[in-house]
Chains A and B, each alone.
Chain A
């Protein structure tokens, strides 16, 4: 475990903690982007460069931007005056602390975890592409279908309700 690994781990966890605890939603989204960058750095240290860069491309480049757009579109960019927590927040914290205790106990005491570290595997782009196009080609196709369905669904949900009559006028401008 290198010191760099520890630092990225701490940055990731701090980013996640801030993303869940700050009052202002835009700050939360930016902290989330920090957490995702930290996770990408962790992937890089686990010899999964491709996944690390895909993480930055998908999460920081797309999902974080989508979330800040949604924040501004729903006019929640300012910090609210009321409480930001639900009524039963104590129970929620307690359950999540219990979850963490159980998981941590299991991780530290499990006999299924291999003790010795294996050498770094090779996951070049060529290997990943070959795997995607041979062994995992069916899941790849299904993912394509799911993404198309999700995109059409998102557009239909977010469309204005009374768009039936205005559709002919605006020529389908997004």
Chain B
């Protein structure tokens, strides 16, 4: 019974595809999968926007949206209908293109932003047997298509002919390039231990239980460090507070999409949130067991429910961080990436190697934890000593 519920989407897909002729089956199957992603994740995005405003309101001791429910009825849903008027508003607003803007590049930037983000969902395992393309080098695919987002950010910032847009784009690119390195290096540890770049294999490797507790990678020393590094880097990659310098409202209006309005602005907004969900999904898959359950007596809950609830839990932590932490300064951001996260990620790779080759008993826990604590203490002290509270010195190309 629970197995059937778990596989209900897979069964439905097979059932639907069995009605089309043999020749069209791969195309129709791909179409249904695309429709699934396009229906579910923008839906999650719509709910997240309301949730974000409500949680931020709670943190800042105010209400947040609580009026709009289902339109034309008296049902209010605690304000969770807010995304419908928001969507209608952004769809019907005037689309302003600055006169000096580079029209073609200005038009193409939101499209180039959205395509790689949507494509990266193709390799994420949403549930048991629920990966759209079970590709051999899925992790490489994910990082490769993620690289195209930087190009779109640059296109948006440069084509607007606005100094705030260009500043935001340069900040965003510098930040994304810097934080991509710890992101990839922290994912490398998982690849080393599992021995595969296939994301389904990585989830399968974590789907074992000892004393009723799952073998998630986050429950090992290297996995914990890897997860924390990945989490911080994914905050920076999705331009969230405390790394929201690219779109800091109080400094540069809205960063690279200052000159966008109406539907194009909505596309940027959507692309940013979908990118955030994708990278959180990857983090869940790599470190938090993907669609598996943390304890063995809850394995009857369907796998996609686990995936979505983990996703929403991490989204909640992201919103919580946004409501709590102040924004970093540019030099602090760069120092943190290059002088703390990068060395720690490299040491973590060494620790994962030691973990892989030592015998599976308490000694390897001791050795690995000792190395990580030592590295953390030394690097953290170095970071604190290098604090430069004096006047900043800028360095230009000329």
Contact = CB atoms under 8 A, between A and B. Distances in A.
Interface of A: 26-27, 30, 33, 37, 49-50, 53-54, 56-57, 60-62, 64-65, 68-69, 72-74, 77, 124-126, 160, 166, 169-171, 173-174
Contacts of B326: none
Given A64-B151, A166-B393, A171-B388, A125 B145 contact: no
Given A53-B141, A65-B173, A170-B393, A77 B147 contact: no
Which of A49, A56, A126 has the most C-beta atoms of chain B within 10 angstroms of its own C-beta? A56
Contact of A30 (B155, B180, B334): B155
A56 B147 contact: yes
A27 B103 CA distance: 12
Nearest to B177: A65
Given A65-B173, A72-B170, A125-B137, A57 B147 contact: yes
Contact of A74 (B135, B177, B395, B397): B397
B151 A62 contact: no
B147 A174 contact: no
Contacts of A77: 158
B253 interface: no
B52 interface: no
Given A57-B140, A173-B334, 17 more contacts: A26-B158, A27-B105, A49-B137, A53-B140, A53-B141, A57-B143, A61-B150, A65-B151, A69-B170, A69-B173, A72-B170, A73-B397, A125-B136, A125-B196, A125-B197, A173-B393, A174-B338
Nearest to B170: A72
Contacts of B143: 57
Interface string B188-207: 00000000110000000000
Given A69-B173, A169-B393, A33 B147 contact: no
Given A160-B395, A171-B386, A173-B331, A61 B137 contact: no
12 contacts: A53-B140, A53-B144, A56-B144, A56-B147, A61-B144, A72-B166, A125-B136, A126-B196, A166-B393, A170-B395, A173-B335, A173-B393
Interface in B131-154: 135-137, 140-141, 143-148, 150-151, 154
A76 to B, nearest CB: 11
Interface of chain B, main secondary structure: helix
A122 to B, nearest CB: 10
A119 B331 CA distance: 54
B140 A61 contact: no
Interface in B218-266: none
Nearest to A171: B388
B140 A54 contact: yes
A65 B143 CA distance: 15
Interface in B109-162: 135-137, 140-141, 143-148, 150-151, 154-155, 158
B173 A173 contact: no
A73 B148 CA distance: 21
Given A50-B137, A68-B154, A171-B386, A61 B393 contact: no
Contacts of A166: 393
Contacts of B141: 53
Contacts of A160: 395
B51 to A, nearest CB: 32
B150 A65 contact: yes
A60 B397 contact: no
Contact of B154 (A56, A65, A173): A65
